[in-house]
A and B are shown apart, each in its own frame.
Chain A
Amino acid sequence: MTRAALAAALLVVLVASALSGAAVAAKPGGTLRMVFMADPPTLDPAHATDLTSSAVIRQVFDALLELDEKLVPAPALAERWMVSADHRAYTFHLRRGAKFHNGREVRAADVKYSFERAARGKRPWVFEKLVGAREFIQGGAPEIAGVRVVDDATVELRLERPFAPFLHLIAYDAASIVPREEADRRGAGFASHPVGTGAFRFGSWRRDDQVVLERFPEHFRGPANLERVVFRVIPAEATRFNEYAAGQLDVSDIPTGRCRALQADPKLKADVAIWPTLGTSALRFNVERAPFTDARVRRAIAHAIDPAIIVNRVLEGCVAPAQGIVPPVLAGWTATAKRLPLDRERARSLLAEAGFPGGRGLGPLAYHFNTGDLNQRIAEALQAQLKEVGVALELRRLDWAAHIKVVDDGSAGFFRQGWIADYPDPENFLTVLFHSRNVGPPGNTSRYRNPAVDRLFDEADTMAPGAQRVKRYQEAEQVILDDAAWVSLYHYASRALIKPHVKGLERSPQSTAPEFLAPLRKVWLER
């Protein structure tokens, strides 16, 4: 190359970079440094049940669909789909040329293999709605009849009955598409060496230290901006914060009790990010256990509780107090429900009506919660508030597994329970939590049985999305709140510190923590 040609080439490069700098275009390259509180238990989509695992799985794998920023299903490995008139058959047309990290193209048979593999994994409920899925899961059938490979690029799914949020299930990370040959060859080892189609491929994993993902240049959407993503595992809250402050992490969480202080910190306040997520923290009663069989006792307690105290004090005002059960950030939802308001006089008169004037004869009521500083503080705040109307609370703290057991088997009468959506649909909050067929472990731990509410759910669950469907859920929600089977406290929010040079991180209501933000393929670093 002559010197002039070299200079010309250099000029072209300079102009090009100047131009791209002028636009808000993403800049390729760099390593994004994220942090987990705990090591992910598995990286296999069929076996994950926790958010940490899902956070990695979502980067390494794709499903047929994904949810966009507004949580609306959008094309991923399927480029388009058709729904039959009776809402029971879904036909997906796969994108041509999408490749697994091992170089092989994705085919319709991979979808069938992946769904059947995952249906026998840890989250079978994702596939339960498919024709023949229950038989297959219980081992009575060799395949899921409702998953049919039409041709190499087409797959048809059939449902037992219409289910409005079905596309959300297909976009869930449990429904990730895995390559048969890799999963079969590696067996249990697939969990520590996952192979998918995602924008990032698995790099390395040192247990309790870090997971490294690398850019997959042949991703069907084109290569991601980031060259590498590192998820470090740092259990200690203070250490995570110190590493972030020292510039060793690009994203971290806000330490307990620091939310207000950091929002006022001149150096860090620009990094504070708080956004509402799809979850609600609440208190529930087992309506089959005395004295909570009496709705007046439940209502009295609901009237005696002021969520604002918990929100403003324990949570430093960094979350929103809740009125209803369904979080208002849910797409297509209008929050209309009203909780029973703080009214101590009303609480006292309800207690008297129920035969417990001034709380006499009620005895100390056991309140069950799971171990944790936050839950302990909330419990003490509730104890102090209920004391004002004469109700004594006895605090019963158990670790998570033991807590969920007494909640599920019905031996707890009054307990805390949060709910985070598996998929963004009111059905996942209301039907799952209050339909009489879900009494007990499936979600209705209030053991609430109301035929009128069941009827509203049965209608709404199978209806096409829209105002009529929402109206039925809203009606049921208000009935449940008035019956005080559930007392809403606050809606969850993600609270994160994000360095200003990290661009393109979506703050979706489904990202329950910064490390669970998806997808990272859109992220770039501005240096």
Chain B
Amino acid sequence: MPPAPRPLRHRGFLAGAALVALFAAASLLAPVLAPEDPHAVAGGGGATLEGPSVSHPLGTDALGRDVLSRVLWGGRASLAVGVGVETLVVVLGCAIGLLAGYFGGPVDAALMRVTDVVMAFPSLVLAIGLIAVFERPGLDKVFIVLVALGWTTIARVVRGEVLSLKARDFVQAARALGGGHRAIMLRHLLPNAVAPLLVAATIGVGGNMVAEAGLSFLGLGAQSPTISWGAMLADGQTFLATAPWVAVFPGAALLLAVLGVNLLGDGLRDLLDPRLRA
């Protein structure tokens, strides 16, 4: 029997892929899967801070809202910020990394000093400061700030790859054949830098999700009616001793989702990096 393809033999990768698939499916299908309107504040009394039961598998919060429905909907903010921010970060980071690595010299020096400056700030503190500049916090502001601060890692990775690739024979050959800067960068350098780029971007998604939850926890991210795991954690911390499910379930969802993304990233690195190949 021929051995299974390599990705299917990598346990971390498989576990990560499964968690990410579950998380993505739950978030995308939240309108179908959620048993209740996540905002519904039903009438009557007695149903607040209710423990997990058949009608509310993950219990209810202080307003009597169904925690399961809110956890499912909360995944959407996490997914949107995690993937959305990373997409823009990759575009921005690749552009800067390619330019710096390919042209070298003063262009490289200038771009990398900017990168150093951005990286020198503690990013969460800087993010809090930047969001304070906006009159009203919100998920859109989180998006802008995370993109503005997040591109540096990708830029560094791409630049490093480009520095080593551009001295290689196939690049020299392309240049000798009269290839323009643009063609060399996009057709020869970038495709060869995809492996480390993919790994860095995947890990970045997890970082964005944690940052979004952190900012929402502080009240600087998603604003009601947008549901975010971070905001749910903030609401639930008051009841940690008496109604732990209000905080524990969104916390666990965040933990598993980020764990999944990171396992996936690690797995990709193992699978794509030739030096780690057994």
Contact = CB atoms under 8 A, between A and B. Distances in A.
Interface string A354-379: 00000000000000000101001101
Interface in B17-69: 39-41, 43-46, 48-49, 62-64
Nearest to A385: B41
A346 interface: no
A483 interface: no
B235 to A, nearest CB: 7
B172 interface: no
B238 A380 contact: no
A363 to B, nearest CB: 15
A313 B242 contact: no
Given A309-B43, A313-B64, A384-B41, A257 B223 contact: no
Nearest to A380: B224
A395 B41 contact: no
A308 B42 CA distance: 11
A397 B46 CA distance: 28
A316 B48 contact: yes
A230 interface: no
Interface string A282-323: 000000000000000000000000101100111011000000
Contacts of A309: 41, 43
B224 A314 contact: no
A316 B235 CA distance: 16
A463 to B, nearest CB: 42
Given A306-B43, A383-B225, A387-B39, A377 B242 contact: no
B41 A258 contact: no
B45 A377 contact: no
Contacts, number: 63
Contacts of A387: 39, 225
Contacts of A312: 44-46, 48
Interface in B240-277: 241-243
Nearest to B219: A397
A314 B62 CA distance: 6
A258 B62 contact: no
A396 B239 contact: no
A257 B238 contact: yes
A82 interface: no
Contacts of B238: 256-257, 373
A263 to B, nearest CB: 13
A314 B48 CA distance: 8
Given A306-B43, A373-B235, A377-B235, A258 B242 contact: yes
B9 interface: no
A309 B39 CA distance: 14
A385 B48 CA distance: 16
Nearest to A382: B41
A141 interface: no
A396 B238 CA distance: 21
A381 interface: yes
A261 interface: yes
Contacts of A238: 241
B136 interface: yes
B48 A313 contact: yes
Quick one: which of A257, A313, A316, A371 has the most chain B CB within 10 A?
Answer: A313
A380 B63 contact: yes
B232 to A, nearest CB: 11
Contact of B39 (A257, A373, A383): A383
Interface residues of A, number: 28
Contact of A379 (B40, B136, B224): B224
Contacts of B62: 257, 313-314, 377
A238 B64 CA distance: 23
Nearest to B47: A313
A376 B41 contact: no
Contacts of A314: 62-63
B136 A396 contact: yes
Contacts of B242: 257-258, 261
B224 A313 contact: no
Nearest to A313: B48
A265 to B, nearest CB: 11
A39 B28 CA distance: 49
A264 to B, nearest CB: 12
B133 to A, nearest CB: 15
A376 B63 CA distance: 11
A257 B224 contact: no
A312 B63 CA distance: 9
Contacts of B224: 376, 379-380, 383, 395
Interface in B123-140: 136
Contact of A313 (B63, B225, B235): B63
Interface in A397-443: 397
Contacts of A308: 43, 45
Interface string B171-204: 0000000000000000000000000000000000
B265 to A, nearest CB: 35
Contacts of B235: 373, 376-377
Nearest to A397: B219
A411 to B, nearest CB: 12
A373 B235 CA distance: 7
A380 B38 CA distance: 12
Interface in A71-111: none
Interface in A117-133: none
A308 B48 CA distance: 13
Contacts of B39: 380, 383-384, 387
Contact of B223 (A317, A373, A395): A395
A296 to B, nearest CB: 25
Contacts of B241: 238
A313 B41 contact: yes
Interface in A235-266: 238, 256-258, 261
Interface in B53-107: 62-64
A257 B40 contact: no
A79 to B, nearest CB: 49
Given A383-B224, A395-B224, A257 B63 contact: no
Contacts of A396: 136
Interface of A: 238, 256-258, 261, 306, 308-309, 312-314, 316-317, 371, 373, 376-377, 379-381, 383-385, 387, 394-397
Given A381-B41, A383-B39, A384-B40, 4 more contacts: A257-B239, A257-B242, A377-B63, A380-B41
12 contacts: A256-B239, A257-B49, A257-B62, A261-B242, A312-B44, A314-B62, A376-B224, A385-B41, A387-B39, A395-B223, A395-B224, A397-B223
User: Which 6 pairs between the two chains have the least Cβ-Cβ distance?
Assistant: A312-B45, A384-B41, A313-B48, A380-B224, A384-B39, A257-B239
